[in-house]
Amino acid sequence: MKVAQRRWTAARGWNGVRGAWPKMPQVVLVFGAREVLESEEVLSSMRQSAPGAHVIACSTAGDILDVEVGDGAAVATAIELEHSTVRAACVRLADHRTSHAAGLALARALLPAEDLVHVFVLSDGLEVNGSELVAGLAEALPPGVVVTGGLSADAARFERTLVALDGPARSGFIAAIGFCGSRLRVGCGSMGGWDAFGPERLVNRSIGNVVYQLDGEPALDLYKAYLGDYAADLPSSGLLFPLSLRSDGGIGVVRTLLAVDREAGTMTFAGDVPEGSYARLMKANVDRLIDGATGAAARCNEALAGADSELAILVSCVGRKLVLKQRIEEEVEGVRDTLGPRAAITGFYSYGEIAPFVRSAKCELHNQTMTITTLSEV
């Protein structure tokens, strides 16, 4: 595998950062600010640099290149696989209610591929129900094919997110790259690091990812009572106080707030919040967040069983970025220290992360985690 990386800034355009640009890359990953990707020139110039490659991109709440976290720019990672192949597909969402159908269609578009090993997906971050998207993908893909990826972002504005595949970046789209080949090794890991506080609350009424009642009270009223002064800044301040969900004795998942309806007293989250589950507020512990990123990288190393990571794709939640502030690069540095010097690192800050906790587990939509996908060829 050959990997090269470039960074785009308004002042300098595209500039090389790591490695010589491959002659025949199959995939170029581009992560950048919404205002950058809205300029057709940025993605068009990247497609010209890699005419035979699939260029897959999404808007972000910050880009990751090696151990640096940037804003208002874009990063590109070109991948030339020496013993493997790729397939690509994209679908358009009619609205969030079609998320499951979109997942089914996307997975089927990547098939048939007898040697399909892994699917990396980038989705619109506001118009999708991430839980239903993941369920649709899992339903249609063969057993053993793992999905990772994330929901695109728009800084902390929550206005409009973008996804691109071999064309302009647009809202309402979901794109995926299928990696194929017996010599490809993929690792993944996902961890959080948030602390729970307050009692568990029963989700009395919800529809999909919209919560109406907690413990018999309007959900938003109860949530605002815990937030105090932060309630005035909803929904953006909700990134600092996600919900931990527990149901059916399974591993708990975390959900991030996307929107509120003050008249109806409802809250909309990035993924499903099932009726009958129990929700508990969470708050940040900075050191534990950084430890969580390191732990996710360690899980990737375990999955590769001794093979060195050649590429690591990091998808971390915008809520973590808002909490860590000037310490944000510490979580990326922890990943670098764990994976070692060989791996090229790229990624972005998201509105949701897609991965199993470990490669052998069920794929989930996560919020407020650091999710890592590592690739290498043997």
CB-side neighbour CA atoms (13 Å) of 90: 23
Give the start-to-end residue ranges of the domains of the chain.
2-191+287-377, 195-283
* Cα–Cα dist 281/330, whole Å: 25
CATH 2.40.30 fits 195-283, yes or no: yes
The mean pLDDT of 262-286, rounded to a whole number, is: 89
- The answer to whether the CB of 152 falls within 8 A of the CB of 123 is yes
Tell me the per-residue pLDDT of 136-145, one tens digit each, with 9 for 90 and over. Answer: 999 999 988 9
Residue predicted with more confidence, 256 or 146: 146
What would the pLDDT profile of 191-247 be if each residue is shown by its tens digit? Answer: 888 888 889 999 999 998 899 999 999 999 999 998 888 899 888 888 888 888 887
**Phi, psi (5° rounding) for residue 98?**
-100, 15
By DSSP bridging, strand 243-246 and strand 253-255 are antiparallel
Asked if omega into 274 is within 30° of 0 (cis), the reply is: no
- Of 235, 293, 232, nearest to 267 by C-alpha is 235
Q: Please say if the pLDDT value at position 262 is more than 60.
A: yes
